[in-house]
Amino acid sequence: MNQAYEDLLAHQKQTMALGRIGGLMSWDQEVMMPRKGADSRAEQSGALSAVMHDRRTDPRIGDWLDAIPTEGLTPTAAANIRLIRRSYDRTCLIPKALAEETAKVTTKAQITWAEARATNDVAAFAPTLRHVIDLTRQYADCLKANGSRYDALLDDYEPGATEAGIAGIFDRLRVGLVDLKTRISDSEHSPPKATGDFTEDAQMALARDLAGAFTYDWQAGRLDLSVHPFSSGTRGDARITTRVDPQNPFDCLYSTIHETGHALYEQGVAPDLDWQPAGQSVSMGVHESQSRFCENQIGRSAPFAEFLWPKFQEAFGNAGLGSADDLYRATNRVAPGFIRTEADEVHYNLHIMLRFDLERALIGDDLQVDDLEAAWNERFETDFGVAVPDPARGMLQDVHWSCGLFGYFPTYSLGNVYAGCLDKAMRGDLPDRDQMVSSGDLAPVVTWLREKVHRTGSLLAPGEVIAEATGAEPSEAALLDYLDAKFGAIYGL
């Protein structure tokens, strides 16, 4: 390649290295940082953000891009140039002061949110949330051109996705889910519930064991506790977190498997393209397809329950369950809970649709922060049939809005849709998958994901990655078929 391309990639590598530092800072803030470190950390985030903004808008990037011949590019070079051009054009539209203020405000907002959540104090969080929304609107206004603010935000997480396209998928998905949950609630079947004493040590030991079974590389990551489970980092340093509920071990175990799915993607994404934009994970939706696939299509399957049952008994005793089938059904109880991350597969996407509609209204100025709690609670009761008891189980439950992550939530449901597509395709390629999973041999499953999804990096667009992997355009139909079959059997529908 020519010198401009070499210079551009070298510059990009340093920018990516600084970006990884930002990832470490966020991880530390959630997992390790003492409370009084927040003010200083906010200054640090602001300073790094300013540096990143300067680098991303460095006019030399434009010069280098212009100096690279457009003909005869390798697919990798073409993807790198496409991704850098896109980032450069977008970032140049954002004033540096706005980027810096947003970094500072959202760093502090996460602390304010955590405290408000702990004390159920919506009023304590409201001014901060207003500030974050105001900054997010300003940001979207810089980018939206002729599209909607929300389209502009979506593009950061799912390049190419649109509000209208997602609304279409969600509308069709909603019909199927509401029908299924109604049939389930009318069913006389009631899966068993695990009860007993689930110590933190036993939960964490089993969580580590399961992450390892999914081939998580412990030399390239670590597992810690945080309020909200998340994954962070990439390649040689892809960390995960979980949380422990002494009443319910499945929260810890399935959060761990979920985050392991994310980390497997990072640990396996295009290993030969390190430090290149084409070698990065392609979108939040595809990322979520990896975590949800591991968590649900594998982790909450009947064969996995067979694998898990002896380990579960060793860790916790029988916990009121009598067999692997009991465990399978216990991990697939369908009930209208308040917490998104603990939701069953039938209700999960309804949680997302609630947030999708509310955050579109917030960003579009059709809903004010003062009215958010009432709007949340009303919509929740309509969709789930139960009243929200307190804000920690309502509008304060998720960290996202305090981080300024508007447009992020729908990628969770896109991930579920993609996971449904991948599951269908993998069953064709690995007809013996159930036997592999029940014996705890998950390597072939992960290898399939590596080859079909991880290795592609960002060489293709998100929808193209799924279409290439599955041989068909992504559609919600596979997910609905999977859910109907699975829960139809469990609930005798």
Q: Does 38 bind a copy of itself (CB under 8 A)?
A: yes
CA–CA dist 476, 280 (Å, integer): 26
Q: Does 44 bind a copy of itself (CB under 8 A)?
A: yes
Please pick, from the candidates 2, 32, 127, 314, the single residue that binds a copy of itself as defined by CB under 8 A. 32
- Closer residue to a copy of itself in complex, CB, 394/457: 457
Q: Does 234 bind a copy of itself (CB under 8 A)?
A: yes
- Closer residue to a copy of itself in complex, CB, 105/352: 105
Residues 213-232 that bind a copy of itself (CB under 8 A): 217-222
Residue environment code for 143-174, b if the CB has 16+ CB neighbours within 10 A, otherwise e: bbeeebbbbbbbbbbbbebebebbeebbeebe
Instruction: Please state the closest distance from residue 281 (CB atom) to a copy of itself, in A.
Output: 15
CA–CA dist 400, 412 (Å, integer): 12
Give the side-chain half-sphere CA count within 13 A for 4: 12
Please pick, from the candidates 4, 25, 142, 467, the single residue that binds a copy of itself as defined by CB under 8 A. 25
- Closer residue to a copy of itself in complex, CB, 9/346: 9
Please pick, from the candidates 237, 288, 342, 345, the single residue that binds a copy of itself as defined by CB under 8 A. 237
Among residues 158, 259, 288, 476, which one is catalytic? 259
Please pick, from the candidates 5, 122, 181, 233, the single residue that binds a copy of itself as defined by CB under 8 A. 233
- Give the pairing of strands 223-225 and 231-234: unpaired
- Contact flags string 260-279 toward a copy of itself, x per CB under 8 A: ---------------x----
Is 259 one of the annotated active-site residues of the chain?
A: yes
Instruction: Please state the closest distance from residue 47 (CB atom) to a copy of itself, in A.
Output: 4
Sign of the dihedral defined by the CA atoms of residues 62, 104, 365, 412, in that order: positive
CA–CA dist 381, 159 (Å, integer): 33
Burial class of 23 by CB neighbour count within 10 A (0 to 12, 13 to 18, 19+)? middle
Please pick, from the candidates 1, 4, 7, 33, the single residue that binds a copy of itself as defined by CB under 8 A. 33
User: Which residue bears the tokens 């917030």?
Assistant: 362
Q: Which long-range contacts (CB under 8 A, 24 or more apart) does 338-345 make?
A: 338/380, 338/384, 338/386, 338/388, 338/389, 338/393, 338/394, 338/397, 339/393, 339/397, 340/397, 340/398, 341/228, 341/229, 341/251, 341/255, 342/248, 342/251, 345/296, 345/300, 345/416, 345/483, 345/486, 345/487
- Contact flags string 380-419 toward a copy of itself, x per CB under 8 A: ----------------------------------------
Q: Does 35 bind a copy of itself (CB under 8 A)?
A: yes
Instruction: Please state the closest distance from residue 16 (CB atom) to a copy of itself, in A.
Output: 8
Please pick, from the candidates 2, 3, 13, 118, the single residue that binds a copy of itself as defined by CB under 8 A. 13
- Closer residue to a copy of itself in complex, CB, 24/67: 24
Contacts of 112 (CB under 8 A, 6+ apart): 124, 125, 128, 402
Instruction: Please state the closest distance from residue 265 (CB atom) to a copy of itself, in A.
Output: 16
Q: Does 43 bind a copy of itself (CB under 8 A)?
A: yes
What is the four-CA torsion angle of 158, 162, 165, 169, rounded to 10 degrees? 40
Task: Residue count of the chain, please give it.
Answer: 493
- Closer residue to a copy of itself in complex, CB, 353/446: 446
Residues annotated catalytic, as ranges: 259
Binding interface with a copy of itself (CB under 8 A): 13-15, 17-18, 20-21, 24-25, 28, 32-41, 43-44, 46-48, 50-51, 217-222, 233-237, 239, 275
